[in-house]
Structure 1
Amino acid sequence: LGEGKIIGVTAHNLKEAVSAWKQGADYIGSGAAFGSSTKTDAGCIDREEYGRITSAVDIPVVAIGGINKDNIEQLYGYGLAGASIISGIFAAENIEETCKELRALAEKLPEQNLK
């Protein structure tokens, strides 16, 4: 890929996340947090697993899968660096307003990790 490329790896559990980290991933996308309409075969990850993953790896971990403005706050406190949101945006009536709301909520994810 060349120098300076950012490599993200999907991990569904602690074992996969640690393996990705050890193999040089720059960040991990982990989920599905709440189920996913775009990846129907993705099972939900236990929220506590997010805490185990973020404690075990030294790279950012981003939640993905079924996240929207009504449930993103349930991800606070697990060490997550952010959230990847697809259907929670494109299914919204007002995409621009939803993006603003989600951005404000997602920016609080790292803040909520301080214990």
Structure 2
Amino acid sequence: MKSFLRIPSLLLGLLKPKSNKPEIESYGQKDSGLEVEQIQQIMEWLLASLLNAGYVGRSHLIWDLGDQDWKQVLLMGILKDEPVFLYRCGDRPSLAPEHCCWRLMAEYPSMRIYQLEVKEG
């Protein structure tokens, strides 16, 4: 029943116009346990990476403690074709939704940033 209650908010989110400037929506930042300087460094690196890849628009960054339910955020990113990233604060990342996987972004030195990818086929 709770998932049906979220459908209107998902639909409203899809109606928002796409951004023409670089934006990173952040989720779970307060519970991450990281210092402000660490968070700023990670977000700056991610923004620079997105700009270097030629992406301008909204993206999503989840500060994940593991075993958390991020389905609404993940679905929104997938439906709007916006990149979704996860910073692993715990031992392992939360599960990706069905037909998706977390790809480790080895370019970041801590080996804690992942990008959500939809599996082919």
TM range (shorter): 0.3 to 0.5
Structure with more of its chain in strand, by fraction: 2
Instruction: Give me the TM-score of the superposition, normalised by structure 1.
Output: 0.37
